Amino acid sequence: MENILGLKELRENMETYISQVRKGKSFIVVRRSRPLFKISSLDDESGLWEQVVDFTKIKRGGILIKDLLSRL
């Protein structure tokens, strides 16, 4: 079940909700009784992120975006 949270409450207590999301809780944020967005842990959405390129393999610490774009 989703927890419903007001936008003002989220803004005023951001750190509290960040820690709860890290623990696996999710929230639907509303403003004026209308849903705006959902906050959930990335772990809940397994497969959401896909690694395409690891730029640290090209150069330790990664590469600058302007260097990458200049090579394209």
CATH of residue 35? 3.40.1620.10
Which residues constitute the domain of residue 8? Answer: 1-43
3-state SS record for 10-71: HHHCHHHHHHHHHCCCCEEEEECCEEEEEECCHHHHCCCCCCCCCCCCCCCCCCCHHHHHHH
How many domains does the chain fold into?
1
Residue 33 lies in a domain: yes
Measured CA to CA in angstroms, residue 1 lies from 30, 46, 70 at distances of 16, 18, 48
- The pLDDT tens digits for 21-44 are 989 899 999 999 999 999 988 765
Phi-psi domain of 34 (left: phi exceeds 0; alpha: psi -120 through 50; beta: other): beta
Q: What is the pTM of this model?
A: 0.58
Residue 70 has pLDDT above 80, yes or no: yes
